[in-house]
Structure 1
């Protein structure tokens, strides 16, 4: 087989392939063995029609498309490997020649991975910050833990306020007609959570236990139920009960309840250490992002639209997976947010382009610096994954191999090593705080 690659512009080129006649004959044989099983010829059972009689009745040309479908993918794959190109989109294939006894010639217009011209990537300056935890941050974390361990107590004499849980019945009407989904009994609603139609919760604030009230609201114009979008509605509301969070006191008993420590001071010291560790990880991530962004900004690369679109689809799939883990799905999210799938894709496009650019630059830096991943490093990562998923390393390897993801694991490890290389070769500089904006002293 002969294959030639000619670049015609930027990341676009033409791959011309010629496959010898012997392989064409073999592909026609496979095509015949496939279609003869369904061929209806008087006097012969299906699958038993002799080849000469089949070709005489239907013509050898009837086998061409099936033969092309058999031969083209394998020939294309071999040609890509032979010419050492990296396609990033489906090729546009033009069949030049295909016939019995002749070679198979086709051309494929292909978008390939772009060339990257590296700029400076060593000695990059990145701001460094200390992982210090302030008293305000420690107090905020303690307050959050108080909230988590708060008890709900029934309030008898006071009116409902923001932050309370109101247990209500409601019955909704549009133009004096009840609508689907507008009725519930003893529904627990956290006031101030903005989980209901705008304006609803504010009108429940101030109600007392046993009160009745007509709550008037207007559905948002982008409301997911089109028959209600923009409509005015009246909800007849009855307040059954008010529950209010009662925060535990910050004392030694609290520390004993929520930790293994005996005193609040011991617990606060441990909590501060945890916050410092968490902040160190966050700052480490920020430094890694900063050095990669700078290296990518210094490089020259023209990214094909196909690569960006592919990354957008990956991001959409990941987002859908996270939604499902939260008991939601993409259709529900789009309905609630009033967006279309295209809107979501457009929002992700900027981040997708940045991801593609950064990964392309990291790949070339890894090649430039001979950064490779050893089998031992792969095995270590498999062992880490096995521990996390309560499987054996061999099981994890088999699962990744079956999914075709084992190579991706090596690529991921290579990217991590390259990022570590960039960080170790960067220069720490003190973070400069932005000066506050000067007040406008211009006389009116």
Structure 2
């Protein structure tokens, strides 16, 4: 097999010439692979000569199978020998000729575009200042108090906003019960607005053991089509009332919820952790803005197929997130009254930016000859293994080639970002 290469804008056209001898070998291999599928009278199954089969079913009986086998084989062989050709999409295959001289076909493939790098050194960017306020510390202390609150049963008064109640309810529309409208021993925090408007407010004022009917109206934008804007009646029975008692926030509280003996020390530790989080966020923010500044200075013609592939990735991520809400993407499209085409369009600009950013980063990595060294790779894997409480050696040995490539890319990205921060001025 021989091939010639012709470069076009954003594409490479490879013409493959398979000799008559090579093509004969391919069709013979196709015959040997498929002959057992044919049961011909006068021959044991799988033993009918090739000429007999081709006479019965046509001269081209094994052509398609031979073609499907040799095209990817020769294409992969070409890529192995021409590592500078980086496909970003499947090749478009066209048959030029198939005759006694052999097979000639072309593979037209979209390749990774060249990036015209702009300035990526000597730039100046400002880092957002970090400050921890008393309100932020108070919020974390109060959150810890909420986690350590206790609920106390009450029976000598009616339910009010802020209470947690236990109720049975049974809803109906036009005298008929509907799916999801009935529950027993349901816990509900009054004032949380978990249920439809008007429901919780009418439970307020009820006493333990009391039963009553309440009238509510489903919102016009309610997710269930059959209930939108409908008037409904819910029969309620209240089983219990509990109110939340928060602990007193003092030194004893600090001892209970932390390793510190005083509230002051506990607050200092909270301030330290908030500062660490906000500084990490500020570092990430300045990295992102610096990278965006650099990307904006670069030029590249992005093939549409790369953008479509990135959109596919975002759609898959979105579908995955929907599963945690118990939804399928078809349900989401129905509830939001949109289409898959519209959803894809919503991701188009973001996808184009993501692809450009990746291409620019790869171009800088290539220009700066940034590599992944064994020491950095092992440290990256070791840190991750520690986070998931796995033995480093055991975890590394369990990694497949794809997973190892992920960590290698992470190391290269870290090195790239460190280089960019070193070569540019970050003002405090």
Question: Normalising by the residue count of structure 1, what TM-score does the alignment of the two structures yield?
Answer: 0.85
Deviates more, 1:30-39 or 1:347-356: 347-356
Alignment correspondent of 2:2: 2
Alignment correspondent of 2:409: 411
- CA shift digits 1:162-181 (9 cap, x unpaired): 44323222111112211121
* 1:334 aligned to which of 328, 332, 335: 332
> Retained in 2: the 8 A contact 1:382–1:397?
no
2:91 is equivalent to residue 106 of structure 1: no
Alignment correspondent of 2:270: 271
- How many residues matched? 424
- Aligned-pair distance for 1:241? 2.6
- Aligned-pair distance for 1:36? 0.3
- Aligned-pair distance for 1:309? 2.2
Counterparts of residues 38-437 of structure 1 (less than 5 Å): 38-83=37-82, 84-99=84-99, 101-157=100-156, 159-209=158-208, 210=210, 212-221=212-221, 223=223, 225-322=224-321, 326=324, 328=326, 330-331=328-329, 334=332, 338=336, 342=340, 344-389=343-388, 390-393=390-393, 395-401=395-401, 404-430=402-428
- CA shift digits 1:194-247 (9 cap, x unpaired): 433344334444545435241312244451x33334433222233333323221
CA distance in 2, matches of 1:114, 1:155: 70
What is the SS of the residue equivalent to 1:227?
helix
What is the SS of the residue equivalent to 2:372?
coil
CA distance in 2, matches of 1:321, 1:81: 35
> Retained in 1: the 8 A contact 2:215–2:231?
no
CA distance in 2, matches of 1:250, 1:44: 92
Q: Structure 1 residues 254 and 349, CA, compared in 2 at 3 Å: closer, same or farther?
A: farther
CA distance in 2, matches of 1:327, 1:203: 28
Question: Normalising by the residue count of structure 2, what TM-score does the alignment of the two structures yield?
Answer: 0.88
Deviates more, 1:168-177 or 1:188-197: 188-197
CA distance in 2, matches of 1:193, 1:359: 44
What is the SS of the residue equivalent to 2:292?
helix
What is the SS of the residue equivalent to 1:302?
coil
What is the SS of the residue equivalent to 1:37?
helix
- Aligned-pair distance for 1:357? 1.6
CA distance in 1, matches of 2:251, 2:227: 53
> In angstroms, what is the RMSD of aligned CA positions?
2.8
CA distance in 1, matches of 2:309, 2:32: 37
CA distance in 2, matches of 1:131, 1:293: 21
What is the SS of the residue equivalent to 2:179?
strand
- Aligned-pair distance for 1:143? 1.3
What is the SS of the residue equivalent to 2:115?
coil
Alignment correspondent of 1:433: none
What is the SS of the residue equivalent to 2:106?
strand
CA distance in 2, matches of 1:332, 1:264: 51
> Retained in 2: the 8 A contact 1:28–1:67?
yes
- In the alignment, structure 2 segments of 5+ residues that lack a partner are none
What is the SS of the residue equivalent to 2:132?
coil
CA distance in 1, matches of 2:86, 2:158: 68
Q: Structure 1 residues 229 and 306, CA, compared in 2 at 3 Å: closer, same or farther?
A: farther
Q: Structure 1 residues 308 and 242, CA, compared in 2 at 3 Å: closer, same or farther?
A: farther
Alignment correspondent of 1:32: 31
> Retained in 1: the 8 A contact 2:168–2:236?
yes
- CA shift digits 1:411-435 (9 cap, x unpaired): 33222221221122221235xxxxx
- Aligned-pair distance for 1:322? 5.0
- Aligned-pair distance for 1:371? 0.8
- Aligned-pair distance for 1:161? 4.3
- Aligned-pair distance for 1:109? 3.2
CA distance in 1, matches of 2:314, 2:48: 51
